[in-house]
Structure 1
Amino acid sequence: MGKHRRFHWMKLESGFNQLIPLKTFADSRNGYLVDDTCVLGAEVFVSKERSTGKGESLVMIKDALSNNHYWKIDNFSKLDKEYYDSSIFLAGNYKWKIRFFPNGKGSGLGSYISLYLDLAETESLPPGTKVFAGLSLRILDQVQGRNYIGKANHWFSASSRETGWARFMLLSSFKQLGPLVKDSCWVEAEVSVLGVVDPFT
């Protein structure tokens, strides 16, 4: 029995790229082409079996717009929590927030500023949804204008809701150079939603 070919709204046709060699087809001795004429036929059987397969639809966004969010952090010397979150902001119709670790995280703990972008409120996403985003995170230099920047692309989802850098910037440089002025600093996030995957059944 031949292989079944399943058709659905995303697969409307099926066939063979290399059904028969052209030389064999053109040789009249083989019976395919006689008097410059050939006959084509198709035999179709509709199977009673029906699968409930699952799939994904991918939408890539051309000329995606970027959204910028600025966050001022005051009283840095008094920050005593593991991390702090910015207010939620919108980019590409999704909610985001910046996560700032004043004493570092993971491999950066104790020596670095750690900085992450978080997809907020992932519990409201349909199961299986993934958001592909381009991001830039910056700590702004308030003295010389030489900002500290990290860039990445990431697939965000309920199971992978954040990305960033454990070693974004040395704490010693942060305190001694231009980012920290009068115990305050500025953090910026630039986010562009480049694509979305939605599941279907």
Structure 2
Amino acid sequence: MYKRHLPPAHYSLKIQSFSLLSTSNADKYESGVFEAGGYNWRLSLYPNGDKDNNGLGYISLYLSIEETNKLPHGWEVDVNYKLFVYDKIRDTYLTIQDGDGAVRSFHDLKTQWGFSQFLSLETFKEASNGYLVGDSCIFGAEVFVIKSTGKWESLTMIKDPPNKTFTWKMQSFSKLDQSIYYSDAFTVGESRCYLVIKTFLPREKVYRECNLRVLDQLNDTHKERKNCHWVTGSENSWGFPDFMSLEDLHKPSKGFIYNDVLIVEVQFLVVSAVKVVGV
């Protein structure tokens, strides 16, 4: 139970001369039919309480699904709903939600949900509360139908995937004159990958935990850095813009470029595999 300024999204019911309604012979008032979520609904208001369901001394308010004869055999409609009463003094709506947002199922044996003790008559009629002003009041409803799309996703984390190490030997390194170079494609887990020198690309949602290396061809003292990264959306490349200095790269004693050959290697430690169904 809470208050909000936003009016009900789907239906409002204004009652003039509430006192005459409550002293009439009618135990309840049924609103007109309204549509929400592809189904038809109705509010049922008991001005003196639903006596058969322990509602004496309260306003009772229910939501009912209508025209069920048009629905297929074995129908069931899952709903998250809210019922309202308007506080005219503060311009707010007292909002009551079943079971703290619980989803309720409407079906052949249960076509109505709601509250036999929606609001006590004492609280409702107290002028300072603003619910009954000038003998008129406003109730309302929001009905959100829960429809399964059948879509789901499964994430698998793969440690030490097959073909986890890829080595890229760049011949005639001193003669390379492009700003970006891509390795041949290789497969890790279920993902198709490339090594990129200098820049990057977009797309996909995968996890990569790997070691990136530039191999020392003289001393086996390789330059290595570990990278852990989720690749999502437009950011589908990863690495280090400051992986190593050009001074170290070109220093002959370091052995990173030998006989004009640079060798870059990636070793995958953990990768993710995502399966999406129903898209």
Provide the TM-score with structure 1 as the length reference: 0.59
- Name the CA shift for 1:6/1:82 in 2 (closer, same or farther; >3 Å): farther
> Is it true that 1:87 corresponds to 2:162 in the alignment?
no
Measure the CA separation in 1 of the matches of 2:273 and 2:102.
28
What residue ranges of structure 1 are gaps of 5+ in the alignment?
8-46, 106-115, 123-128
> Is it true that 1:50 corresponds to 2:50 in the alignment?
no
Query: 3-state DSSP class of the match of 1:163?
Result: coil
Deviation at 1:132? 1.0
One-letter amino acid of the structure 2 residue matched with residue 60 of structure 1: T
Greater length-normalized contact order (CA 8 Å, ≥ 6 residues apart): 1
One-letter amino acid of the structure 1 residue matched with residue 217 of structure 2: Q
What residue ranges of structure 2 are gaps of 5+ in the alignment?
1-96, 105-142
One-letter amino acid of the structure 1 residue matched with residue 186 of structure 2: F
Measure the CA separation in 2 of the matches of 1:150 and 1:55.
38
- Name the CA shift for 1:166/1:200 in 2 (closer, same or farther; >3 Å): same
- Structure 1 match to 2:157: 61
Q: What is the alpha-carbon root mean square deviation over aligned residues?
A: 3.0
1:146 to 221, 230, 243: 221
User: Residue by residue, what CA displacement relative to the aligned partner does 1:20-74 show, whole Å, maximum 9, x if unpaired?
Assistant: xxxxxxxxxxxxxxxxxxxxxxxxxxx8823568986352325442511111101
Measure the CA separation in 2 of the matches of 1:95 and 1:87.
10
Contact 1:91 1:193 in 2 (8 A): no
User: Residue by residue, what CA displacement relative to the aligned partner does 1:67-125 show, whole Å, maximum 9, x if unpaired?
Assistant: 11111101111111111110000001210010113xxx7xxxxxxxxxx7x68xx4xxx
Query: 3-state DSSP class of the match of 2:169?
Result: strand
One-letter amino acid of the structure 1 residue matched with residue 214 of structure 2: I
- Structure 2 match to 1:36: none
> Is it true that 1:75 corresponds to 2:75 in the alignment?
no
The within-5 A match list for 1:158-197 is: 158-176=233-251, 177-197=254-274
User: Residue by residue, what CA displacement relative to the aligned partner does 1:123-147 show, whole Å, maximum 9, x if unpaired?
Assistant: xxxxxx5211211110000000000
Deviation at 1:199? 5.7
- Structure 1 match to 2:232: 157
Contact 1:137 1:190 in 2 (8 A): yes
Provide the TM-score with structure 2 as the length reference: 0.44
Measure the CA separation in 2 of the matches of 1:54 and 1:160.
28
- Name the CA shift for 1:68/1:62 in 2 (closer, same or farther; >3 Å): closer
Measure the CA separation in 2 of the matches of 1:198 and 1:98.
24
